[in-house]
Structure 1
Amino acid sequence: MDSSSSLARRAGTRDDPYGQMREARKQPLLLHSMTVFREIFEVVFAHREIRSVVEVGVESGQVSGMYLDLGATAVYCVDPGATARLRATLAENPALHLVTTPSPEVLPELPVADLYVLDGDHNYAVVERELSWILENAPGAVVVMHDLMWPCARRDLYYEPSPLAPADKHESSADGPTAWHDELTPAGFVGAGAFTVARHAGGERNGVATAVEDVLGRKGNELWRFELVPAVFGMGVLYRATPDADERLADALRPYSNSNLLATMENNRVALYTRVLQMQYEAAAQAGHADQLADTVSAQRREIDQLKAELHRAWEALRKR
């Protein structure tokens, strides 16, 4: 593609200057889907023979189908909370196999895969168990993980009701984190009943990134390499070092994993998004105050009207005497 056609594809043309913004309007305000990492998956598939995939945490089924588009022949879609719509979508393709047992328990029961995609529970206890099993039992696999940066890097997230034992959880809160200060806030990135987060960030056994560090730091795991793509909450690629092939994979991933530009844009993205959340919270609070004020004024008007009616009746009674 020459420079002029590339420029037109990204920025629009003289005759159609709004093309870029049409593309922008198609995206949700909060990018979070693994589909945005398609070109990273293309790199992985280009440098490894991927036939079977275990996907932990299934979205709409669109990502599951993407693995088939890239060359996989079987995808095991692990999602204990699969909706009727997701079940119907997966049932349309015999290469997509729905698994409703939680990942830490079901991984040993599934065929060993060429690619594991971990995007389920974003907390230390679950990710540590998933990774520990994979690194021990699937040394030839590639592992792709999501949510290795803010907000889950150093703070557990628990989908509620959480199946974890109390010993595997930190004290949690319905309030959420924000980019603008270190404390949790109801105006932050909250789960609205769907999830809670650990009250405190950092420390031991807390967060997805901490789980990755601990598993990789164990004896016997020295040959595993890790690359982080610092975009859309952070995508990690983990693979075992072998001659030649993995050097080419590392070289292909490096423009993404070494990009300070991507990291800067991600920091700016979460800062802007959490500012929007704060503004929405404040607007809702102001609307609530306005409604309360309107109710108070309405009640006072009724009292005034009642007093006027009573005074009128008293005046009429005095006139008739």
Structure 2
Amino acid sequence: MHRFWEKVIRPIIIAAQPNVIVEIGSLTGLNTFKLLDYSKHCDAQCIVIEPMPRYDAELASLLYGKHVRFMKQFSLDALPDVERCDLMLIDGDHNWYTVYHELKLVENMAAKSGSFPIVLFHDTDWPYGRRDMYYFPESIPEQYRKPYAQKGMEPGRSELLAAGGFNVPANNALYENGAQNGVLTAIEDFMGETSFKLHFHKLHSNNGLGILVPDHSPIRKVLPYILATSGL
């Protein structure tokens, strides 16, 4: 998601001026430390949900103090303890079950706080827009877990490759498309059910960026300009 920072995420943050940011999926921190710098500069807070960060989270806590809260948990375990959020970035486990239920938990939070956050999603395009991937397959209930293998993919082909291809080490679903399969499918299914009035925008570069914006959001008027001038 850090590839969208300069042209999309940063302008959205400038326009929205969020007080509480939640980042799901931090990994090496390439996006995280940009969010933390904003939070420190603007007296906001960034809640980082990442079970296995590949950087020194304890040192970052010392450096950023009250402006950061690290939750070393799976997102579905951590989100019930988040009371409010203005902006959320979702780049965690790229599968239907996780993303759909992350959004259901955001919906519950919004019902209590009275405000649905702006939500940004990575991987809404190929390969995981319509195909599940599991970082921890055992964490997904069996009835929602697609058959999978550590094999690669190529655009335009549903089945996994016998050798080579994109993202070979990952636990990729054996096939693309179909019900309850992929990040974009989870977003669409959620939007078809929720009572909140939401607007969805997509960029197709860099594996896809989805932007879910509530009807009341102050960025609704400027977002089309941000996206149109991004060149992405």
| Band the TM-score falls in, shorter-chain normalisation | 0.7 to 0.9
Aligned equivalents of 1:168 and 1:76: distance in 2?
Answer: 28
Aligned equivalents of 2:83 and 2:101: distance in 1?
Answer: 17
Aligned equivalents of 1:168 and 1:204: distance in 2?
Answer: 10
Change (3 A) 1:256 1:168: farther
How far residue 72 of structure 1 moved from its aligned partner, in angstroms, is 6.0
Aligned equivalents of 2:3 and 2:83: distance in 1?
Answer: 24
- The number of residues matched between the two structures is 222
How far residue 60 of structure 1 moved from its aligned partner, in angstroms, is 2.1
Residues 1:149 and 2:121 are matched in the alignment: no
Change (3 A) 1:161 1:125: closer
1:249 to 212, 222, 228: 222
Greater C-alpha radius of gyration: 1
Residues 1:206 and 2:181 are matched in the alignment: yes
| Structure having the larger proportion of residues in strand | 2
2:142 to 163, 166, 182: 166
Counterpart in the other structure of 1:22 = none
Residue identity (%): 24
Deviations 1:30-55 (A, max 9, x none): xxx42443331122122213111111
Deviations 1:111-141 (A, max 9, x none): 3111111000000000000112213423341
Residues 1:217 and 2:192 are matched in the alignment: yes
How far residue 219 of structure 1 moved from its aligned partner, in angstroms, is 4.6
Aligned equivalents of 2:179 and 2:36: distance in 1?
Answer: 38
Aligned equivalents of 2:26 and 2:199: distance in 1?
Answer: 25
Residues 1:90 and 2:60 are matched in the alignment: yes
Aligned equivalents of 1:218 and 1:116: distance in 2?
Answer: 20
| Structure having the larger proportion of residues in helix | 1
Residues 1:100 and 2:72 are matched in the alignment: yes
Aligned equivalents of 1:172 and 1:72: distance in 2?
Answer: 44
Q: Which runs of 5+ in 1 are unaligned?
A: 1-32, 263-321
CA RMSD of aligned residues (A): 2.2
Counterpart in the other structure of 1:197 = 172
Matches within 5 A, 1:4-83: 33-70=1-38, 71=42, 73-83=44-54
Contact 2:7–2:226, Cα closer than 8 Å, also in 1 = no
The normalised TM-score by structure 1 is: 0.63
Residue type of the alignment partner of 1:240: P
How far residue 76 of structure 1 moved from its aligned partner, in angstroms, is 1.0
Contact 2:20–2:85, Cα closer than 8 Å, also in 1 = yes
1:238 to 212, 220, 232: 212
Residue type of the alignment partner of 1:173: A
Residue type of the alignment partner of 1:87: A
Contact 2:132–2:173, Cα closer than 8 Å, also in 1 = yes
Contact 1:173–1:199, Cα closer than 8 Å, also in 2 = yes
Contact 1:90–1:97, Cα closer than 8 Å, also in 2 = no
Q: Which runs of 5+ in 2 are unaligned?
A: none
How far residue 184 of structure 1 moved from its aligned partner, in angstroms, is 1.1
How far residue 256 of structure 1 moved from its aligned partner, in angstroms, is 5.5
How far residue 82 of structure 1 moved from its aligned partner, in angstroms, is 2.6
Residue type of the alignment partner of 2:165: G
Q: SS in structure 1 opposite 2:153? A: coil
